[in-house]
Structure formats: structure tokens, C-alpha cells
Amino acid sequence: MTSRDSDNALEKIAAATDPLKIAFFLVPDFPMLTFAAALDPLRQANRIAGRSLYKWIFLSIDGAPVLSSAGVPMPIDYAIGDSPKCDLVIVCAGLNHTKAYKPAVFRWLRDLQSRACVLGGICAGPFVLAKAGLLEGRRCAVHWELLAAFQEEFPRCIGTNEIFAVDGLFITSSGGTVTLDMMLYIIAASKGRDLAAAISDQFNHPEIRQQDSSQRMPAQARFGIRNAKLVEIVKAMETSIQNPVDLQVLARRVQLSTRQIERLFVEHLGKTPSAFYAGLRMARARDLILQTDLPIPDVAQICGYMSASRFGRIYRAHYGMTPREVRLGGVVQRG
């Protein structure tokens, strides 16, 4: 992919005549925060400019109102089949993105792609675009909680940990507040950096993050640790779930003894290294069990357990239910 290819979406948006027309396709149970982070910068742009730089419409599969994940109903302007032509169409979906896995939706998205419409996906929106067969070989930003599931379901797509990604005529955001950064990026490309900066300032958003910024808080912030060597070990554990790294190997990497590492974990995290590592692996297992249809033995292997029965025992000890019980509709009690 050339750098020019990666800018096609932004070039096409920048070339559009005023007002730029944007459609939001809302999938039932869409996340309100992500949706607001995409919509409100457009409103603010119009307010600051004193004219309609952007216009937007809301779409649903059948034209009926759509409930957000918070149960708030959103009025809809058009069914997808009746939508007027737009410069940018953004799919906004959450954990129940499979509600948009319908032939009519896929045909509509493919038709938009065939007409060179710029397509966006925010939060779990990339799942819908990928299921329509539009993201093969393309980089797309996927929320860190959903990334493992996305890679399992769409191995030919390039899911990334970036906060948002631009590839060809596709622009995707990992959701939440980083969608604001994606929209500011679009506004900067279409109407200038000064306007984007003014909007960011209005929202008390002191820095417009670049697309390759990390999604997650640094390990030291998430776990409340300041010891540099402990941070390095935790990062190594998080990136080595399927093939767990032996504590002695980690000790040599940070030039500490295993006994020193054990003391650091208990002092700063209240757990032994093995218990902490197991917690990371169980969290990954929970995501895969809840978000994919992978067989439980495959989930066990992905999380570093060769024995499915041992994996099941550890999972039950950690969450109070077996993986199979969770799959059958139980609620995780603890963890």
C-alpha cells in the first residue's frame, strides 16, 4: 500500500462540496459514547464556523428507531435502502454487532463501496464491514477488548491496536473517546487544522491524538505500579498469552532474581507472578468465550493451556462458572 493509497479517504472527503454529507448507520445496542464522540464534533464545527459545513442523517436497517446500549431510543431518518447519497457512511455498532449480519446490509455496503463511497466503522463497526467482505488485506482499528475475536473471525483482515486507521476508502476507530480524535482528523483534512484545534479546545481535549497512539492506558496506570522493571515484566506477560514466558526467562530479561520478582508482585500487585499471569490469561479467555464461537479447546490453546480440562478447572476457580456454562448464557460471578 502506498502512502497515497492510505490518504484516499481523506482526499475524497476534502474534495467534497459543502456541506459534507455524513450518514450514521446505527446497529441496535450501539454505544452512546462512541456515537456522541463521532457526532458532536460536527455540530461544534458548524457552530464555530457559523455555517453548515457538515450535515448528517441517521440510518437503520428498516427505518425504525434504534435503541442504544443504554436503552436510549434514537430516531431514524431513513432505512438503508432509501438513504440519499452521502460522502461518508459510518457504521456504529457495539458488542451485539451481529444484529447487522444480514444479507441486505452486506449488499448495501458493497454497493456503496462499488460507488467509491468513503466507509467508516466505529467501535465494533469494523466487524460489519469485514463480514461484508470489504476489509480483506486492509488495516482497521478494533477495540482492544474485541481485537482477539476480530482476528479469529477475520484472519485476512489486519486488525491493529491503533486508535484509528485509514486505509484506502475506509476509516475505522476503536471506539469510545478516541472516535473524537478520528473525527478531528477528518475535520482537519476537510476544513483545516485550525478548525479541528478549536473544536478540540472547546471539548477540553488538550491533545489531538495521532492514529498510531496506543488504545490502552499504560500498564503502570492500569495497575498502579511505578517500578520500571515490574512494568516491563507485566508488558511481556500481556504480549505472551498463547506462549507463556517462564518466570526465570523474565528474571534474566530484567536482571533480577525470581525471588526479587515475586516480592515485587506481592508488594505492588498483591499477587504472586503466577496468579497475576493466570489472571491475564483468564481475561483473554473470557473475551474469546463471550465474543466468539471458537471451540473451548481452541480457546484453551490460544490462552496457553494444552489441556482443556485443566483450563476449565482454572476458569471455574477464577470466575465461578465453567466456560461451557458461560457460553450457555450464565453470568460471570466474579473475577
Note whether 183 and 38 are within 8 A (CB).
Answer: yes
Q: Is 6 exposed, middle or buried (0-12, 13-18, 19+ CB in 10 A)?
A: middle
Q: Please compute the mean of the pLDDT values over residues 303-318 and round it to a whole number.
A: 92
Strand partners, 91: 25, 121
DSSP letter at 61 equals: S
Residue 1 confidence (pLDDT) above 70: no
pTM: 0.72
SS3 281: helix
Residue 333 confidence (pLDDT) above 50: no
Boundaries of every domain in the chain: 3-202, 219-327
The CATH homologous superfamily to which domain 3-202 belongs is Class I glutamine amidotransferase (GATase) domain (3.40.50.880)
**How far is residue 298 CA from its own chain's centroid?**
23
Q: In this predicted model, what pLDDT tens digit does every residue of 226-277 receive, in sequence order? A: 899 998 998 888 878 888 899 999 999 999 999 999 999 999 999 999 999 9
User: Cα Rg for the chain, rounded, in angstroms?
Assistant: 22
SS3 74: strand
Residue 68 confidence (pLDDT) above 50: yes
| 32-50 exposure pattern, b = at least 16 Cβ within 10 A, e = fewer | ebbbebbbebbebbeebee
Those residues with Cβ within 8 angstroms of residue 252's Cβ, 6 or more apart along the chain or in another chain: none
**Termini Cα distance of the chain:** 43
Confidence of residue 207 (pLDDT cuts 50, 70, 90): confident
**Sequence-distant contacts of 47-55: CB under 8 A, at least 24 apart:** 48/195, 48/198, 48/199, 48/202, 49/191, 49/195, 51/18, 52/18, 52/19, 53/18, 53/19, 53/20, 53/190, 53/191, 54/19, 54/20, 54/21, 54/22, 55/19, 55/20, 55/21, 55/22
> Is 1.20.1530.20 the CATH number for 219-327?
no
Taking the C-alpha atoms of residue 276 and residue 329, their distance in angstroms, rounded to an integer, is 27
